[in-house]
Amino acid sequence: MMDLWEDDLLERYPENPKKSKEEFRNYDNPARDTVKEFYKMNHTYQTYDFVLEKEKEFLSLDRKKMGLWDAIEYLNTLVDDSDPDIDLDQTQHLLQTSEAIRADGHPDWFVLTGFLHDLGKVLCLFGEPQWAVVGDTFPVGCRFSDKIVYPDFFKANHDFSNEKYNTKLGVYEENCGLRNVHMSWGHDEYLYHVMKDYLPEEGLYIIRYHSFYAQHREHAYDHLMDEHDHAMFKWVDKFNPYDLYTKAPVKPNVAELKPYYEDLAAKYLPDTIRF
C-alpha cells in the first residue's frame, strides 16, 4: 500500500518525468560528489560519547533567540552535502515539501511540520560541521545496522569494535522505546527539542525521525521500538514521500507564499524561538 501511494505522489510531484522512485537516494552513483565523503566523516565520528557530548552542549537551547523567518532565511545559505538528489537551497525544499502536503488537504499542523522539518540545520550557524547536522540518522550505543547507507564506513568508528556497544541491543533493552534511545546527533533531534512544546506529538515524531531511513524504509530497529513508536511512525511514513519526492528544480515563489506561512506559524509558535 505504501509503495502504491509513493508511486502516486511521485507521479504528481516529479523531479522530472523520467526519474523513477528507485533513482531517488541513489548512493551508488550520487549526483553530487560531496555525498560519500560526507558519510565517511559522519559514520566515523558519530559515536555514543560524541552524541552525549552534543546533547549536553546544545539541548539547553541557550545559543540564540530568533524569529522563525530569521532562521528560515539563514537556511538559504546552506546546501546539504548529504543529499544525493538536488542542490536547491533549504527554504525552497521546505516550501516544496509543505506545499505538496497542503495541496493534499492534510491538517495545518502537518503542513507546518513540513515547512519546519529541516529548520534544525541552523546548527551549522553555530559552527557545527555538516556531518554533525545533516544526513541519515541511526541509533548509537548499539550495533550499526547494515541497512544504514554506506555501512562499511562504520568500521572506522570507535564504537564498532567496542563490546559495550557492538551487540544488537548494546546499552538498551528489547523494545525499550525510541524515547530511551540516543540517535546520531543532527538536526532532527535538535529541532525536536526546539519544537517539543509547540507541535502535536505526531508532528514531533516526524521531525525527530524523518531522517531515520534504516527504520522507516528497512525496519532495521524494530527491536528497539515499542507499540507507541510503531503507532506514531505511521505519520513518519506518511511524511517521508513528501520530503523525498517533491524535490524539484522549480523554485517556489517565497514572497507569494510567505503570508500564509506567517499566519500558520503564529497559530502554533511563539514570536521568538530559543535555539
- Please report the sign of the dihedral spanned by the C-alpha atoms of residue 103, residue 235, residue 58, residue 124: negative
Q: Would you say residue 18 lies in a domain?
A: no
For helices 108-116 and 227-245, what crossing angle results, to 10°? Answer: 70
Calculate mean pLDDT across residues 211-220: 95
Question: What's the rounded Cα separation, in Å, for the pair 10 and 4?
Answer: 10
Mean pLDDT of the region 91-95: 86
Q: Which residue did the predictor score with more confidence, 55 or 6?
A: 55
Q: Letter for the amino acid at 98?
A: S
pLDDT tens column, 169-207: 999 999 999 999 999 999 999 999 999 999 999 999 999
Confidence grade of residue 23 (pLDDT, cut at 50, 70, 90): very low
Domain annotation covers residue 19: no
Q: Which amino acid is at 169?
A: L
Q: Is 111 helix (H, G, I), strand (E, B) or coil?
A: helix
Range of the domain at 72: 2-13+32-274
Asked whether residue 63 is assigned to any structural domain, the reply reads: yes
Amino acid at 21: K
Instruction: Round to whole Å and give the CA distance between 244 and 112.
Output: 17
Determine, yes or no, domain membership for 27: no
Domain count, the chain: 1
Of 77-91, 197-211, 241-255, the one with minimum mean pLDDT is: 77-91
pLDDT at 87: 57
Cell numbers that stand for 70 in this block: 530569521
- 23 assigned to some structural domain: no
Q: Does 32 score more than 70 pLDDT?
A: no
SS3 state at 120: helix
pLDDT at 247: 60
Residue 169's pLDDT is what?
98
Q: Which pLDDT does position 74 carry in this prediction?
A: 80
Is residue 223 one of the residues assigned to a domain? yes
pLDDT of 110 strictly over 90: yes
- pLDDT at 31 (0 to 100): 47
Q: Would you state the cell numbers that stand for residue 60, as one nine-digit string?
A: 539547553
Q: Is residue 24 part of a domain?
A: no
Check residue 252 and give its pLDDT. 86
Let me know if residue 88 belongs to a domain.
yes
pLDDT-above-70 percentage for the chain: 81
